Amino acid sequence: MFSKRFRLGSLLGFPIYLDLSWFLIVIVLAWMLATLHFPIALPDLKAGTYWMMGIAGTLGLFLSVLLHELGHAVAARRCGLEMRGITLFIFGGVAEMADEPQQPKHEFIVAIAGPLVTLVIVVLTFAITAVGPLIALPEPVSAVVFYLAVINFILLVFNMVPAFPLDGGRVLRALLWQLKGSLRWATRITSSIGAGFGLFLIVMGVFALITGNVWSAIWMVIIGLFLRSAANMSYQQLLVRRALEGEPVQRFMSVDPVSVRSDLTLQALVDDFVYETYHKLYPIVDNGHVTGCVTTQQVKQVPREQWDSVTVADIAQECTPENTISYDSDAMDALARMNRNGISRLMVLDGEELVGVLSLKDLLGFLSLKVELEQEHVPVRQVNPINHQD
């Protein structure tokens, strides 16, 4: 989802990240506020004052977004869900959960927490604006606070549209999930609404472009495309998770994996293994124990004229949690590990013994077949009674 991000620090125990796209939107928004919005709202001020107002308004907005996401994160932690952190990016922010809520009540609590924080911000900023003349609040400060009140109100209304993955869509999904007991059905309905809402924004963007409102048109189209993509992806991710959760890795692994010896030359590795089996990763097995692994990427880094003299042991890398998995692990964990590390094969171990190799191709083949067989039948899943005290 994110191109490149930097860790800013932590807040309440949650890592805070800035995506590269955040810097772009900060610059653009500060410029628009300083040169367009505030000069129109409050004429006859100095250019430096407008720029200070623009920067303050921009940082205030993203502070509001951060507080919104902290609301989600704190609620998730109270519901026992692991949080990976909060990332600010071009479309605002996202609180990243390691897993989806397992109960509709927890889904509702996590989803509604962010909008409640934003509602508090809206009330406070409007209140400050209202009492500004009574406490002699400087006009530039009052204008920035009023901007934050209005923009947070707009974001609150937008966020509560019942279109997944917006907060309103998650709230609706929780209610539908509780009603029918099927997370898959609820996600399909709300994701469809989300995709439709994204299309609506795209159409509105085209109309805005026709009427000459270029900036609004660009943002509507970009946000519409993002929402359609996120809605469709969310449903697909749920299908993947439901298909693979509870399925052990050993069900899909190749039990007779191709392995190599550490004393093998790179030339022999390429001729006898790579060109014969077309794999990119090979376990290294000596005396029945896995001693490491070798990849075609490592081979490429060695000059071709040295392949006859360099052995596998010379370039081998150690087995790590990034390229191995236990034979009794969940298949969904294996897929997440492959995706996180950008690899398509995992060595399956039982202690130090190599018992198989798991490939992405095998997982996707099973996934495709299972989704195809079950797509017309959505079983009503038993939902645990909602008795968790928060």
Give a yes or no: residue 178 inside a domain.
no
Please check whether residues 18 and 56 belong to one and the same domain: yes
Q: Which residues of the chain have pLDDT under 50?
A: 1, 376-390
Please check whether residues 156 and 263 belong to one and the same domain: no
Please check whether residues 94 and 110 belong to one and the same domain: yes
Please check whether residues 264 and 369 belong to one and the same domain: yes
At residue 28, φ and ψ (nearest 5 deg) are -65, -45
Q: Which helix (H) or strand (E) holds 14?
A: strand 14-19
Tally of domains within the chain:
3
Please check whether residues 238 and 215 belong to one and the same domain: yes
CB-based contact 21:90 (threshold 8 Å): yes
Give a yes or no: residue 192 inside a domain.
yes
CA separation for the pair 147, 67 (Å, rounded)? 17
Please check whether residues 262 and 361 belong to one and the same domain: yes
CATH number at 364 reads 3.10.580.10
Residues 6+ apart with CB under 8 A from 35: 50, 54
Please check whether residues 41 and 150 belong to one and the same domain: yes
- Domain final residue pick, 217, 244, 271: 244
Q: pTM value?
A: 0.70
Tokens of 99: 């897993």
Residues, the chain, total?
Answer: 390
Give a yes or no: residue 176 inside a domain.
no
Measured in whole angstroms, the distance separating CA 369 from the mean position of its chain's CA atoms is 26
Give a yes or no: residue 390 inside a domain.
no
Q: What local confidence, expressed as pLDDT, does residue 11 receive?
A: 85
Please check whether residues 298 and 314 belong to one and the same domain: yes
Residues 6+ apart with CB under 8 A from 183: 100, 104, 173, 177, 238, 242, 381
- Domain final residue pick, 210, 225, 244: 244
What DSSP string runs through 100-112?
A: --SSHHHHHHHHH
Q: What local confidence, expressed as pLDDT, does residue 114 receive?
A: 92
Give a yes or no: residue 169 inside a domain.
no
Q: What local confidence, expressed as pLDDT, does residue 345 receive?
A: 77
Domain that holds residue 317: 249-374
**Which among 288, 265, 270 has a CA at the least distance from the CA of 280?**
270
Burial class (CB in 10 A: 0-12, 13-18, 19+), 266: buried
Give a yes or no: residue 386 inside a domain.
no
68-to-230, 287, 367, 374 alpha-carbon distances in Å: 19, 56, 36, 37
Give a yes or no: residue 380 inside a domain.
no
Please check whether residues 192 and 309 belong to one and the same domain: no
Residues 6+ apart with CB under 8 A from 112: 75, 167, 171
Q: What local confidence, expressed as pLDDT, does residue 229 receive?
A: 84
Please check whether residues 303 and 360 belong to one and the same domain: yes
Please check whether residues 128 and 188 belong to one and the same domain: no
Instruction: Give the count of beta carbons closer than 10 Å to the beta carbon of residue 189.
Output: 20
Residue type, 309: S
Please check whether residues 9 and 156 belong to one and the same domain: yes
Give a yes or no: residue 330 inside a domain.
yes
